[in-house]
Chain A
Amino acid sequence: MQATIDDLIPVFRDVLENDKLVILEATTADDIEEWDSLNHIYLVVAIEKKFGVKFTTQEIQGWKCVGDILIDMSKK
């Protein structure tokens, strides 16, 4: 499915509890303080729920930045 960064921004802001978050395709977990290991899982769950997709463990482990999520989403 086709998704853009604008679709993901509200999810990030909601899960990470920060309305001011700026998410770009190049953003990584290191750039955002709240984006730690467990929140990472909550993000995955929220994205899967909202867009009706399912990621494999391999795909999730391979994400280095937000852009990678969009790429995997477009494959579904």
Chain B
Amino acid sequence: MLFNSIDFIVFLAVVFVLYWNFLSKTKNVQNIFLTIASFTFYIFWDWRFSLLLIFSVLLNYYGAILVENQSSSRSRSLFLTAVVVLNIVVLGFFKYYNFFANSASVLFSKFGLSIDVPTLSIILPIGISFYTFHGLSYIIDVYYKRIKTHRNLVDYTLFVTYFPLLVAGPIERATHLLPQLKVKREFSYIQCVQGLELILWGFLKKLVIADSLAPFVSTIFDNSGSHNSTALILGAIAFAFQVYGDFSGYTDIARGVSRLFGIELLLNFSYPYFSRSIPEFWSRWHISLSSWLNDYVFMPIALKYRDYGKHGIFLAVFSTFLVSGIWHGAAWHFIAWGAFHGLLYLPFIYKGKGLRSMFGKRTENYSLRDLPSILLTFSLVLIGYIMFRANSLTDAMIYYKGLFTGSLMEVPNIQGKTTLLMIFVFILILLIIEFKGRHTTNPISHIANIKSRFVRWSLYSLLLFVIGMYMNNNVSAFIYFQF
């Protein structure tokens, strides 16, 4: 069930009413019910892979207990490695088999051997990248003794399969989500209102901004050769806001829905395009993935190679971004995108005292002097996006070539310029609202503070009205579902 479908709204309403009114006696009843609801949700998506999901849950739950029970550190490491490898093999098979098979065939042919490694028609189980990472974070945290195993299979299953985050995150941690599941949630009117506000804002970003931009982005990226440089620039900017509206919109809806059940999920986006540097960008974009990679990839590597000074840090940063690239997709252009961002850290690593943190400082105090660095950062992000969105590295090269040749004074050669202009006005309004609300996680949350009910309800109605009048019906799936 897509979030923007009648099916989901009905499902949500039913689960909401049942949960709070009949199935909230104890925390166990609440969790069992939510787990059943989550599996129902998943089966709606793709029942074939529910067994795989169950396998992943059991693997990490019992694997963590096994690791915890070991007495020697050697056997702890051994069991951890075994379980981690198993997780990665499963993920790797479904996601990357064809990529490796194709690349191997290409490699063989470069050596003059015509061996065709057969590719399989493998379907990607939905959410696999996300629930695998959930499980890995749990068992690795147990290994590092940051947490003790939680001996309640229902609680743990819910932790991994909780339906708001099952399909596209945020990537939760045992330290953040499990404690909330261990206690009974109480109904809070305010929390529900805040949840609805998040859902509203998320739908606005997704349906009005992201979906309206989608056809333009497709046309420009699928035919970059026949567009002039102004059109190509607009295409990149359009994609930047499409992916932001799509993904941050999805996360807002997920977090808002979760709030309706009294559970808070991790923040995933914090106004990324206001970043003044690339490290700051990564502290604001897909935060749950960045911090996962920081804790489980970057830190171990940086620690291991700490004797190599700045070179060791660079190795850690670069490897982490390669992993990020691969995580996003089994294709060279994703890996190139990751490598590109890794290289952008070079000045931060080698200048002065070196890198202070994978994530730049995140403050909400801005001055006019920040404008050049904001624009520079955004431009670098745009350059990376071209690699990310293009269908292949070759296509990306064609895009860059078109971008840097040709005059910027030309009128963009795209259809529907009026519509695109209108959407850009919406983007401007979005940026203004976000900037004004940057001290809170949800920029429209201050509506709830307005005294007059008439004004409050009018503002909510206005936002819903904008959705009704400007949503684009023809595009549905969220971009991050393919991960």
Residues of A participating in the B interface, judged by any CB pair closer than 8 Å: 17, 36-39, 41-42, 44-45, 57-58, 60-62
Residues of chain B at the chain A interface (Cβ within 8 Å): 73, 144-145, 294-295, 298-300, 302-304, 306-307, 309, 313, 353-358
Expressed in whole angstroms, the Cα–Cα distance for A26 and B302 within the complex equals 26
- Known contacts A61-B144, A61-B145, A62-B145, A39 near B302 by CB under 8 Å: no
Name the contact of B299 in the complex, choosing from A17, A37, A45 (C-beta under 8 A): A37
Per the bound structure, the CA–CA distance linking A41 and B354 in Å amounts to 12
Least distance between B158 CB and chain A CB atoms (Å) = 28
Contacts of B357 in A (CB 8 A): 36-39
Chain A contact residues: over half helix, strand or loop, or mixed?
helix
**Set of chain A residues within 8 Å of B302, measured between Cβ atoms:** 38, 41
Question: Is the pair A37, B358 in contact by a Cβ cutoff of 8 Å?
Answer: yes
Judge whether B355 and A41 touch: CB under 8 Å: no
CB-based A-B contact count at 8 angstroms: 35
Distance in Å: Cβ of B379 to nearest Cβ of chain A: 26
Could you list 18 A-B pairs, sorted by A, with CB under 8 Å?
A36-B357, A37-B294, A37-B295, A37-B298, A37-B357, A38-B302, A38-B356, A38-B357, A41-B299, A41-B302, A41-B306, A44-B303, A45-B307, A45-B309, A57-B300, A58-B73, A60-B303, A62-B145
Please determine whether B73 and A45 come into contact, CB atoms closer than 8 angstroms. no
Let me know if B306 and A45 touch, CB within 8 A.
yes
- In the bound assembly, the distance between CA atoms of A36 and B355 in angstroms comes to 12
Query: CA of A41 to CA of B308 in the docked complex: distance in angstroms?
Result: 12
Q: Is the CB of B145 within 8 A of A57?
A: no
Contacts of A62 in B (CB 8 A): 145
The docked-state distance in angstroms from the alpha carbon of A12 to that of B353 is: 15
Q: How far does the Cβ of B253 sit from chain A's closest Cβ, in whole Å?
A: 30
Residues of B within 8 A of A45 (CB): 306-307, 309
Q: Is the CB of B73 within 8 A of A38?
A: no
Contacts of A41 in B (CB 8 A): 299, 302-303, 306
Q: How far is the CB of A17 from chain B (nearest CB, A)?
A: 8
Cβ-defined partner of B304 (8 Å) among A42, A57, A61: A57
A38 pairs with B355, CB closer than 8 A: yes
Report the minimal beta-carbon distance from B78 to chain A, rounded to whole angstroms: 14
In whole angstroms, how far apart are the Cα atoms of A17 and B354 in the complex?
13
CA distance A37 to B290 in the complex (A): 13
